[in-house]
Amino acid sequence: MTASFNIGPHALPNPLALAPMAGVTDLPFRMLCRELGAGYVVGEMLSSDPRLRGTRKSELRRNHEGEAKPIAVQIAGSEPAWMADAARYNVRHGAEIIDINMGCPAKKVCNKAAGSALLEDESLVQAILEATVDAVDVPVTLKIRTGPDPDRRNGVTIARIAEAAGVQALAVHGRTRADRFKGEAEYDTIREICAAVSIPVFANGDIESPQQAKEVLERTGADGLMFGRSAQGNPWIFREVWHFLTTGDLMAAPCLEEVHDVMMRHVQGLHRFYGEVQGMRVARKHFGWYLKDHPGGQALRDRLVRVERAAEQLRLLDDWFTLGQAA
């Protein structure tokens, strides 16, 4: 497999991407995934509603300080004019790629007729994409699902609309809106989308191992892969997949010393980024993901989520590794 994957003028170092996930893919996690092999990362979803731009949440999600280029920002909404204005606003604040969210199945997003709910209305999809592409001079990309429900998989139609509107790359999750995250992802529709358009496509959904990554690429003909939940607690998946795709060999899992180092740096980064109280709270979800497969990990997590000081959170984590409890 070649490393060639371009989004407009931006040549990615490899075609493995971290999916935008609200509450997960903040700046500390994006930078960590880049360090461990991700060729492309997309920031957390930002609402196109101009009334929300000044909130602390929006300001944190727009923070790309020290992040490797290209800076990709995802926006969500259902009003073409608002989406166009949000794209211009984020480009003024450093975005080099604008990604449009038409893939999120969360009720709080779909209830506002945004995210994957937009797949129900192909004419509105076209209006949003055309308005956004026309509004900015940077590449616009699109993340979608395969359709509203299993009986209406209109992903190919949406992909063609996107290409005609000037969208420069697609990411396709192999489930419908109605599926949410239930069952297994299907890749036949992604294969049909890849065959129908000439712009690059990331395949997304249930890619949890290097072997599965290779199989999905072969089944779909996708140009790249996007990892979401499989990267939670496992940011090493990017380098492991890329090593397997380029050499045919499986890379050894990270040793305990490296897991220790990465977890400590990640948690310290969260404390710095959010401040002590919020940083501790955000770290809790990551503890569950990192520790779920470690003997004694659940007991440690239960202790970590109860402490009230950042220094104590770090001390407990450090002791668990250095005193041999993680072995």
Q: How far apart are CA 106 and CA 117, in angstroms?
A: 9
> DSSP label at 51?
G
| The total number of structural domains that make up the chain | 2
Q: Same domain, yes or no, for 282 and 203?
A: no
In a shared domain, residues 242 and 260: no
Pairing type for strands 46-47 and 40-41 reads unpaired
* pLDDT tens, residue by residue, 279-301: 999 999 999 999 998 888 899 99
Residue 327 domain-assigned?
A: no
Q: Are residues 293 and 228 in the same domain?
A: no
Same domain for 212 and 306: no
Residue 243 CA to residue 252 CA, distance in Å, equals: 10
Per-residue pLDDT reduced to its tens digit, 190-245: 999 999 999 999 999 999 999 999 999 999 999 999 999 999 999 999 999 999 99
Specify whether 290 is located in the same domain as 238. Answer: no
Q: What's at 321, amino acid-wise?
A: F
pLDDT in the model for residue 104:
79
Burial class (CB in 10 A: 0-12, 13-18, 19+), 183: exposed
CA angle 20, 25, 26 (to 5 degrees): 130
Let me know if residue 1 belongs to a domain. Answer: no
* Tens digit of each residue's pLDDT (9 = 90 or more) over 116-142: 789 999 999 999 999 999 999 999 999
126 shares a domain with 45: yes
CATH number at residue 278: 1.10.1200
Quick check: is 138 in a domain? yes
Task: List active site positions.
Answer: 104
Question: Which phi and psi (to 5°) does residue 251 adopt?
Answer: -85, 145
Domain residue limits at 315: 256-322
Per-residue confidence at 324, pLDDT binned at 50, 70, 90?
A: low
Burial class (CB in 10 A: 0-12, 13-18, 19+), 218: exposed
Predicted TM-score (pTM) of this structure = 0.94
Domain endpoint, select from 212, 230, 247: 247
